[in-house]
Structure 1
Amino acid sequence: MAPSNVAMTVVAAAVALLLLAPARATKAPETAYTLPAGGPPSVPAGPLDIVQLGAKGDGKTDSTQAILKAWKNACDATGTQKIVIPPGNYLTGAMELKGPCKSSIIIRLDGNLLGTGDLSAYKKNWIEVQNVENFAINGHGTLDGQGPLVWKQNECQKSYNCKILPNSLVLDFVKNAQIRGITLLNSKFFHMNIFASENVLVDKVTITAPGNSPNTDGIHVGDSTNVTISGATIGTGDDCVSIGPGSKTIRIHGVRCGPGHGISVGSLGRYKDEKDVEDVKVTDCTLVGTSNGLRIKSYEDSKSSPKATKFLYEGVTMDNVSFPIIIDQKYCPNNICVKSGASKVAVSDVIFRNIHGTSNTPEAITLNCANNLPCQGVQLVNVDIKYNKSNNKTMAVCKNAAGKSIGLAKELACL
């Protein structure tokens, strides 16, 4: 939240996927994402078009079993198999799409899946892909979580130990995956959660929920390696992208974020035995009207001591963003943690370069690091953010942070 390696060339992998991907696919990301050709496909045990299996696109008939049957038919075959969800509105409950599978599976989503508002239909999540290698979802359809039906039951703003509502799309222990072109709408909780996965590309997706919807993070990544999010448009009631413990080699490129809480690392240190976050690059992104911008946050009463290191934020545009640049080692939402002031989460080697635009608050830069564990190696390079209202000057507030400022106006050069 590991299957065997697949031996083949990158060229063969790319050809196999591009034959089935939408025509608007972007250039290859930094890391390679493989979906092997796997030889000629075998004949599946039954149809792969969900309508042929009894699904009805009327928005009322439960189509859960038809989709699960299509998955089984594809999973038991070999080669590359394509499940088809044609135009229409298909109501479903929880679906566990389990592996390991003998085949590489592509879900072509041209219709809309609707997650029922009956919470008794879910054990945990809505669509959960587990223990699968070589998997893709592409198309122009929508995963509609129908969150407005249940958001009032979310109590996570009041308690650590709240009941978690279903996430919309979850990848658990998945290797080599692409999610491309689809829309995720109004999740009950997170729209997409990538956990314990490797080599995942999320490209040109659209994620939409109201700015006041609770805990509707766009994409959350945890305990995963080599994850690229590119060309996405994300507007939600929480973080557009959140990066949790154990995440390494994360690339976020060309993302437009807003409304929401920005692009965040953390919260870190909430639970015991959390792993380090390392090698994160956020480039050429735009944030519009978000309540935070680029943020690294760890709990003041941290229960574990992961390191957060090797970050590059570059070429980011801020448009009317509150608190555009933040490192906060004293994060304590709604005062539900113990304010000890002694963080265990070490933050180091963080570069903010070529960041420009406007702030909705005077505090364009906030480095609120811990007294006992100061931030190390922070660089502010060519940061040009201006407060967009009158009668107040743009400022930087920096505590317990070591590093350097290059090419900044005097009021922002706090290192």
Structure 2
Amino acid sequence: MGLTRGFSSVFFLIFLFALATNAQEERRIKIFDVSKYGAVADGRTDNTKAFREAWDDACKWQEGKARVRVYVPIGTFYLKLSDIYWHVNRLVVTGGGILDGQGSSAWTRNSCREGSSNCGEFPVVNDITSLDSKTTHFLMFGCSNINISNVVISAPGDSPNTDGIKIGSSNRIKISRTQIDTGDDCVSILSGSSYIDIYDVFCGPGHGISVGSLGKYPNEENVYGLTVKNCTFSRTRNGVRIKTWGSSFASIAAGFTSENIFMNNVENPIIIDQQYCPEANCLQVPSHVQIKDITYKNIWGVSSTKVAVKFECSKSSPCKNVVLTDINLSYNGVDDVTISECSNVNGASYGRHSPPSCV
């Protein structure tokens, strides 16, 4: 079933794209069938050119107000995805099937685990499975009004840099009823993103749901309007996390709510880290990212470390209006031995708290 070629191979099984100009305009559908462009479902032929041409023609279609669909028939399609771009609104991906990135051929050559700043980017690709991507499974940049639901994302916990869903400069993204097992962030929300709703998501293994890292580059756009609800984190490195670099570059991260969340043996269930530094020789300077208006409500379960709540905020830009309500996190199943650690944070606490709140 198709040998990998370099780091850019990918298998598509029963893959269906649908690009809609307006959800209410369903009278006409223009179909672009990749097989009509020469795509062959034999698991060996490189179909990159056929997929790219079908995608490009669909994006250029402007006749009337027809919905546009790029259709992939049943079969196993091999292609390199480096030249197919996703700068679209109102995208629907459905039809069942598996996107197999065959990432194990590349993971051993990825130096991200060693803290290298030269990790390299490997090409990657309603009811879709993304399996063993070489790096990020789903990357959304410059997107609006996208729903992701009933998706399975799977990679081993020790696979480097295999973020489940990475979102940057995008707005009004909804992720629901999705299972994410990966070696990096289950969901990563980067600069310029707003109105992101995540609910009914299972995360684990992985590094949790993270905002950031922010503040590494100048002129980063703000992040605001994130909701994480009714989610489960199991044996992850982090639960709900905000991370920023120590640097002089300023931006704002605000208006986040994490509610009704179960933690199962999570290392850092609730964490704000404004001295994030996965590399060697980071600058030890205060972060200038302003974090404010953050709410944590009804979060319970088991922490695999004693520090269940940690707010390490910036001395130059302290966290503002951090509110905790009804937090109940035990340490390895034993009550009342977890602790909270706080620095440079102000806010309020309500209801029951285990560990005792330091806000």
TM-score, scaled relative to structure 2: 0.87
Q: Distance in 2 between matches of 1:277 and 1:134?
A: 21
Partners of 1:322 and 1:361 within 8 A in 2: yes
1:214-273 per-position Cα deviation (integer Å, ceiling 9, x unaligned): 110001111111111111110100000011111111111111100000000010101111
Q: Does 1:403 align with 2:359?
A: no
Q: Distance in 1 between matches of 2:121 and 2:184?
A: 15
Change (3 A) 1:383 1:306: same
Q: Does 1:206 align with 2:152?
A: yes
Q: Does 1:343 align with 2:330?
A: no
The list of structure 1 runs, each at least 4 consecutive aligned residues, that deviate by more than 6 angstroms after superposition, is none
Deviation at 1:54, TM superposition (A): 3.3
Alignment counterpart, residue 129 of structure 1, candidates 56, 65, 86:
86
Q: Does 1:162 align with 2:118?
A: yes
1:103-143 per-position Cα deviation (integer Å, ceiling 9, x unaligned): xxxxxxxxxxxxxxxxxxxxxxxxx223x344322111122
- The match for 1:35 is 23
- The match for 2:9 is none
Aligned residue for 2:52, secondary structure, equals helix
Change (3 A) 1:225 1:133: closer
1:322-364 per-position Cα deviation (integer Å, ceiling 9, x unaligned): 1100011111114341112x21111111110000111111111
- The match for 1:146 is 102
1:170-192 per-position Cα deviation (integer Å, ceiling 9, x unaligned): xxxxxxxxxx2211111111111
1 or 2 for the larger relative contact order (CA 8 Å, sep ≥6)?
2
- The match for 2:77 is 90
- The match for 1:28 is none
2:291 counterpart letter in structure 1: V
Q: Distance in 1 between matches of 2:141 and 2:59?
A: 21
Change (3 A) 1:390 1:285: closer
- The match for 1:123 is none
- The match for 2:12 is none
Q: Distance in 1 between matches of 2:335 and 2:354?
A: 18
Q: Distance in 1 between matches of 2:311 and 2:39?
A: 53
Alignment counterpart, residue 269 of structure 2, candidates 304, 324, 327:
324
Change (3 A) 1:411 1:136: closer
1:89 counterpart letter in structure 2: T
Q: Where in structure 2 are there 5+ consecutive unaligned residues?
A: 1-15
Aligned residue for 2:54, secondary structure, equals helix
Q: Distance in 2 between matches of 1:339 and 1:244?
A: 22
Q: Distance in 2 between matches of 1:363 and 1:163?
A: 31
Q: Where in structure 1 are there 5+ consecutive unaligned residues?
A: 1-19, 23-32, 98-127, 170-179
1:379-405 per-position Cα deviation (integer Å, ceiling 9, x unaligned): 110011111156992111111211112
Change (3 A) 1:392 1:412: closer
Change (3 A) 1:163 1:333: closer
2:175 counterpart letter in structure 1: I
Deviation at 1:201, TM superposition (A): 1.3
Partners of 1:383 and 1:408 within 8 A in 2: yes
- The match for 1:269 is 215
- The match for 2:50 is 66
Q: Distance in 2 between matches of 1:392 and 1:225?
A: 40
Q: Distance in 1 between matches of 2:120 and 2:58?
A: 31
Is the deviation greater in 381-390 or in 260-269?
Answer: 381-390
Aligned residue for 1:239, secondary structure, equals coil
Deviation at 1:202, TM superposition (A): 1.3
Q: Does 1:314 align with 2:259?
A: yes
What RMSD over aligned residues (CA atoms) do the two structures have, in Å? Answer: 2.4
TM-score, scaled relative to structure 1: 0.76
